Amino acid sequence: MFENYQAPKELIPSDPRFGCGPSLIPVEYLHKLAATGVHLMGTSHRKSPVKNVVKDVQEGLKNYFDVPKDYSVVVGNGGATLLFDMIGLGVVEKSSLHFTCGEFSEKWYKAHKLIPWIKATQNCVLPGEGLNPQMTHGHDMICGTLNETSTGVMISKLPTVTNDTLLAIDATSGAGQVPCDLSKVDLFFFSPQKVFASEGGLFVAIMSPKARDRALKIAQDKGRYVPDIMNWAQAIDNSDKNQTYNTPAIATLFFLREQVARMNQIGRKAVEADGNKKAELIYQWAESRPYLKPYVKDPQYRSNVVATIDVDDKVDTMALIALWEKQKIVYGIDAYRKLGRNQFRISMFHNIRFEDLESLTKLIDHAIKTVL
Ligand SMILES: Cc1ncc(COP(=O)(O)O)c(C=O)c1O
pLDDT for res 265: 98
Exposure string of 65-80, with b = 16+ CB inside 10 Å and e = fewer, is bebeeebbbbbbbbbb
pLDDT for res 308: 98
Ligand 1: does its nearest atom lie under 6 Å from the Cβ of 77? no
Tens digit of each residue's pLDDT (9 = 90 or more) over 121-171:
999 999 999 999 999 999 999 999 999 999 999 999 999 999 899 999 999
Ligand 1: does its nearest atom lie under 6 Å from the Cβ of 347? no
CA 141, distance to chain mean position in Å, is 20
Cα(79) to ligand 1 centroid in Å equals 7
Cα separation of 236 and 239, whole Å? 5
Which of 98, 101, 104 for mutating ligand 1's site (highest number of atoms within 8 Å of CB)?
Answer: 104
Sequence spans of domains, the chain: 9-25+268-369, 28-265
DSSP designation for 246 = S
What stretches of the chain show up as alpha helix (H) in DSSP? 27-35, 48-65, 79-90, 103-113, 209-219, 232-240, 250-266, 268-287, 317-326, 354-369
Ligand 1: does its nearest atom lie under 6 Å from the Cβ of 149? yes
**In terms of Cα–Cα distance, which of 182, 197, 217 is closest to 22?**
197
CA atoms within 13 A on the CB side of 290: 3
Tens digit of each residue's pLDDT (9 = 90 or more) over 176-187:
999 999 999 999
Cα(222) to ligand 1 centroid in Å equals 30
**Class of the CATH-defined domain 28-265:** alpha beta
Which of 109, 151, 173, 303 for mutating ligand 1's site (highest number of atoms within 8 Å of CB)?
Answer: 173
Which of 172, 199, 339 for mutating ligand 1's site (highest number of atoms within 8 Å of CB)?
Answer: 172
Ligand 1: does its nearest atom lie under 6 Å from the Cβ of 178? no
Q: What is the biggest distance separating any 2 CA atoms in the chain, rounded to whole angstroms? A: 66
Amino acid of residue 307: A
Cα separation of 203 and 193, whole Å? 10
pLDDT for res 4: 87
CB distance 306 to 347 below 8 Å: yes
CA-proximal residue: ligand 1, atom 4 (nearest): 80
DSSP designation for 17 = B
Q: Name residues whose C-beta falls within 8 Å of residue 98's C-beta, 6 or more positions apart in sequence.
A: 105, 106, 108, 109, 112, 120, 121, 122, 123, 143, 144
CA-proximal residue: ligand 1, atom 5 (nearest): 80
Ligand 1 atom closest to the Cα of residue 20 is: 14
Residue ranges, the chain, pLDDT below 50: none
Element (H, E) at 6: none
pLDDT for res 3: 87
Tens digit of each residue's pLDDT (9 = 90 or more) over 228-266:
999 999 999 999 999 999 999 999 999 999 999 999 999
**Class of the CATH-defined domain 9-25+268-369:** alpha beta
**In terms of Cα–Cα distance, which of 189, 123, 186 is closest to 159?**
186
Cα(353) to ligand 1 centroid in Å equals 23
pLDDT for res 125: 98
Point out which residues pair with 153 in neighbouring strands.
Answer: 148, 302
pLDDT for res 1: 85
